Amino acid sequence: MTQGVKTYKGYEIHPLVYPRRTAAGVTHRNSIDSGYDASVRICRVGANPAADGRVFRFAYFRPFEGAGKARMACIEHASQVIDGRVDGQSVSDL
């Protein structure tokens, strides 16, 4: 799946969406435990995301029902991190 990059207040937001893994570490796309987990990579616009970005995880106790919902949650979480509204997560040193 192609992940779209969004920009917000001088930062690039890279949603990282992946199939949910079971406790045994196996991915299941079509079972009761199916769904998606997500994280988000944030870097300055124009920076190399792999070298100059940081991955932020967010606690979501149930899998997202679809990749689109997970991607939207990534963008929302990233904007909250950038705005300084998430305790313990900051982009001030990027």
Q: Is the pLDDT of residue 6 over 90?
A: yes
The pLDDT-based confidence of 61 (bands split at 50, 70, 90) is confident
User: What pLDDT is attached to residue 1?
Assistant: 44
3 state SS for the chain: CCCCCEEECCEEEEEEEEECECCCCCECCCCCCCCEEEEEEEEECCCCHHHHCEEEECCCCCCECCHHHHHHHHHHHHHHHHCCCCCCCCCCCC
Taking the model in full, what pTM does it have? 0.82
Does 94 have pLDDT greater than 60? yes
End-to-end CA distance of the chain: 27
12-38 pLDDT tens trace: 999 999 888 766 656 555 555 578 889
Instruction: Spell out the domains of the chain, with CATH numbers in brackets.
Output: 6-82 (3.30.160)
